[in-house]
């Protein structure tokens, strides 16, 4: 009995004492002598970064609360630090608070906030559910084809619903309805495969489509602010989509090989999907309006810098404004507000602020020198550097429950590491993009991503099932990163 109770006790201890441990580590770092070449503000930002990582990894406080705590620490600790530009005077809490709030004025922040409203509109009108059911209705009742349908829906929705959590939240009840209608057990391999595929397919297409996930916006924001390069929607798609497409095929074969469904065909399966679609009734006027707005927005994203100069964030904000206008719109504020994950918005803004402060206080550059020296990558070929840093990100992701938080903590450091490398011809923007793809590798544990936890909450599979399929998926994905790095991405000039 004690053995059975041990894991929950350990988990509760982490949650209970994670915040206290974080503060102890933060105070310890502040109390240390300031290393040579690192400003006092930089040393304190490293302390805040490690504090953030500890509370995020232990889940001792919620993400929105952690964002408020991080902002407070930045305002006070940076405010009482010498100004990096003029060390003779203190920065002051007013300026420091401005740094802590700086992420909320970033165009990437506007895009993420707008994307969540777009996802809310999909939920409000039911257009996302209709798209999912329509695709599944064309697949058939054979279990392998239903699996293909689930993966295909994840791909299609990634274009129209720029929120992984929203996509999976839409898909889970549909897949559960199919499982129930098929008359199979909740703990069957069929149910497990379908639900795992729901989460993993969405994670894979977080890589392929720039607007599919908030963590991509963090990377794009830092690339633009620190390197002066604006990565367009099409640039990202051309580079990343082949990876996601190949891995989608891999996902199918991994699941079918390791967890083959009990039956080849489910009697009445196609009729069940057709019934769910019929129950929705004819397409509403609001759905038609939203479909038109979404398709227009997708067209504008894809043709940025090709047919026009409107950036992704601006076109998204205009689309959101249209969706709220009387007559034209598809929802009002009262309908949209409860469907918005405000915690994600707050965390995203603070994440950008945290990364920007690490860069501006020279903390990221100092950490980069330490990491470059430790790994000895200063003069290594680009592909070896990619291999080392990708492996590092995969391992550290095991402790994170949010790719957004991981990107906020690591991308500024990755950029600084790549800037300090002496290898001739290294493409900092390209390698940063590829390493951001790896940030989305939350394939191994249910706790590695919110979409995994949503699927896990259906109780259709065990943690061991997710791990058993997630480990080979991660190994193959890592190998594919290196293969494409040596071939396709090298041909594109990214490596």
Q: What's the confidence (pLDDT) of residue 5?
A: 42
Cβ(407)–Cβ(218) under 8 Å?
yes
3-state SS, one letter per residue, for 86-144: CCCCECCHHHHHHHHCHHHHCHHHHHHHHHHHHHHHHHHHCHHHHHHHHHHHCCCCEHH
pLDDT tens by residue, 258-293: 999 887 776 666 777 788 888 889 999 999 999 999
Cβ(216)–Cβ(206) under 8 Å?
yes
Q: What's the confidence (pLDDT) of residue 439?
A: 94
Here the contacts of 369-374 (C-beta below 8 Å, separation 24 or greater) are 369/37, 369/420, 371/413, 371/417, 372/417, 372/420, 372/421
Nearest-angstrom CA–CA distance, 203 and 455 = 12
| pLDDT beneath 70, residues of the chain | 1-12, 141, 181-182, 266-269
| This prediction's pTM | 0.85
Residue 345, Cβ density class (10 Å: 0-12 exposed, 13-18 middle, ≥19 buried): buried
Which residues contact residue 230 at a Cβ distance below 8 angstroms, ignoring those fewer than 6 apart? 220, 224, 305, 311
pLDDT tens by residue, 13-38: 777 888 999 999 999 999 999 998 89
β-pair partners for 126: none
Q: What's the confidence (pLDDT) of residue 267?
A: 67
Q: What's the confidence (pLDDT) of residue 268?
A: 65
Nearest-angstrom CA–CA distance, 164 and 199 = 9
Q: What's the confidence (pLDDT) of residue 273?
A: 78
């Amino acid at each position: 009995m004690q053995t059975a109770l041990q894991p929950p006790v350990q988990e509760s201890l982490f949650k209970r004492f994670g915040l206290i441990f974080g503060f102890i580590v933060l105070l310890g770092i502040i109390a240390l002598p300031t290393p040579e070449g690192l400003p006092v503000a930089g040393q304190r930002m490293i302390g805040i970064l490690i504090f953030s990582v500890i509370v995020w990894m232990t889940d001792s406080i919620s993400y929105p609360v952690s964002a408020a705590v991080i902002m407070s620490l930045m305002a006070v600790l940076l405010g009482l630090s010498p100004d990096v530009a003029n060390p003779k005077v203190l920065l002051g809490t007013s300026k420091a608070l401005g740094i802590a709030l700086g992420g909320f004025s970033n165009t990437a922040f506007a895009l993420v906030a707008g994307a969540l409203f777009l996802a809310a509109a999909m939920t409000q009108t039911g257009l996302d559910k209709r798209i999912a059911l329509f695709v599944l209705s064309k697949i058939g009742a054979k279990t392998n084809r239903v699996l293909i349908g689930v993966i295909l829906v994840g791909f299609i929705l990634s274009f129209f619903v720029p929120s992984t959590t929203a996509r999976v939240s839409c898909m889970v009840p549909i897949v559960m309805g199919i499982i129930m209608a098929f008359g199979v057990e909740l703990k069957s391999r069929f149910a497990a495969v379908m639900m795992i595929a729901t989460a993993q397919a969405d994670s894979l297409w977080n890589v392929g489509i720039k607007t599919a996930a908030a963590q991509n916006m963090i990377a794009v924001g830092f690339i633009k602010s620190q390197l002066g390069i604006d990565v367009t929607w099409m640039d990202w798609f051309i580079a990343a989509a082949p990876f996601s497409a190949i891995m989608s095929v891999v996902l199918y074969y991994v699941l079918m090989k390791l967890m083959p469904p009990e039956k080849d065909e489910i009697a009445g399966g196609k009729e069940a999907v057709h019934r769910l679609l019929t129950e929705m009734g004819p397409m509403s006027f609001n759905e038609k309006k939203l479909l038109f707005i979404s398709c227009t927005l997708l067209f504008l994203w894809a043709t940025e810098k090709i047919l026009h100069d409107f950036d992704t964030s601006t076109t998204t904000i205009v689309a959101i404004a249209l969706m709220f206008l009387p007559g034209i719109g598809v929802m009002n504020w009262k309908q949209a507000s409860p469907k918005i994950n405000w915690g994600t918005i707050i965390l995203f803004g603070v994440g950008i602020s945290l990364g920007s402060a690490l860069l501006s206080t020279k903390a990221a550059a100092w950490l980069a020198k330490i990491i470059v020296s430790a790994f000895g990558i200063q003069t290594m070929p680009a592909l070896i550097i990619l291999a080392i840093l990708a492996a590092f990100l995969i391992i550290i992701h095991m402790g994170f429950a949010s790719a957004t938080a991981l990107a906020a903590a690591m991308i500024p450091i990755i950029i600084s590491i790549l800037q300090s490398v002496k290898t001739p011809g290294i493409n900092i923007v390209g390698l940063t993009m590829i390493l951001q793809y790896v940030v989305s590798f939350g394939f191994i544990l249910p706790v590695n991503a919110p979409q995994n936890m949503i699927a896990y909450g259906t109780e259709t599979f065990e943690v061991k099932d997710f791990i058993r399929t997630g480990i080979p998926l991660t190994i193959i994905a890592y190998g594919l990163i290196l293969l494409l790095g040596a071939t396709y991405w090298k041909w594109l000039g990214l490596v």
